[in-house]
Amino acid sequence: MTSRLRGRWAEGRPAYNFFLTIPNAWTAEIMARTGFDAITLDMQHGLIDFATALQQLQAIGTTGAVPLARLQWNEPSHIMKMLDAGAAGLICPMIETAEDTLAFVRACRYPPEGIRSYGPIRAGRLAKGDYFQTANREVLAFAMIETASAADNLEAIAAVPGLSGLFVGPYDLSVSMGVEQVADIHGPALRSVLDRVLAACKTNGLIPGIYSGNTGHLAELSAMGFRLISTGDDTKLLEQSARALLQELRESGQ
């Protein structure tokens, strides 16, 4: 279920992740076939509802990409439903405290580690072997670090048992911290949090993840130690490609 990602991490290499915002199974399949290690359904800021998410998970399932989802919110019924539908891992937004993190993790895990209700209607049919026996160790649970409060409670969040990783949202984090240069990984305030994220992940055996819209930063983020590196989304890619094509046509046609 998540072996492609775990294999890269075991080798000390980053896994590359792409976000989907367009509610369409065909675009999901196209992007999943490009070679990204993981494809994330953005249920928070994207235009995707659950019915479409199921179709997109089915489309991604025809490829080798690992299907992830960024949740709408830290809400147990949504967490469990996305996992039952076949998401191999979840990224939870707006985590601010260890208590928030514990609630998220417990909704991702079956008893005795958590409170997840057993009924993996699709996920169980995708699994090799007994899904109940493997899900607690296979399903990835990433807590987003994207507010000043989360940064204040970073070490306590990272210490919550059952968490898989921390995922930095540098845009919201910069805004929340009052940083002038948004998502500038070289700015001292943001860089300090990134260093603490990496240290906390190392201490607790977690995977450090991050989003960056600046592809020029990706090699540096990898060298720093981030292992789930996300960049781009389908909406931006489509828009940028269309604008570039139009510019080329205008230039060639005078």
pLDDT at 1: 83
Catalytic residue among 45, 78, 186, 217: 45
Q: Are 18 and 233 in contact (CB under 8 A)?
A: yes
- CA 39 from centre of chain: 8
Q: What burial class does residue 208 get, using C-beta atoms within 10 Å of its C-beta: 0-12 exposed, 13-18 middle, 19+ buried?
A: buried
Secondary structure element (H or E) that encloses residue 19, with its range: strand 15-20
User: Mind listing the pLDDT tens digit for each residue in 50-85?
Assistant: 999 999 999 999 999 999 999 999 999 999 999 999
CATH value at residue 219: 3.20.20.60
pLDDT at 254: 60
CA atoms within 13 A on the CB side of 13: 9
pTM above 0.75, yes or no: yes
pLDDT at 189: 96
Active site residue 45: yes
Number of structural domains (the chain) is 1
Single-letter amino acid, residue 101: T
Distance, CA of 94 to CA of 44 (rounded, Å): 10
pLDDT at 253: 79
| Domain span holding position 221 | 3-253
| Residue partners of 248: CB distance under 8 A and separation at least 6 | none
Distance, CA of 64 to CA of 61 (rounded, Å): 7
Residue 239 phi, psi (nearest 5): -65, -45
pLDDT at 113: 97
Spans in the chain with pLDDT lower than 50: none
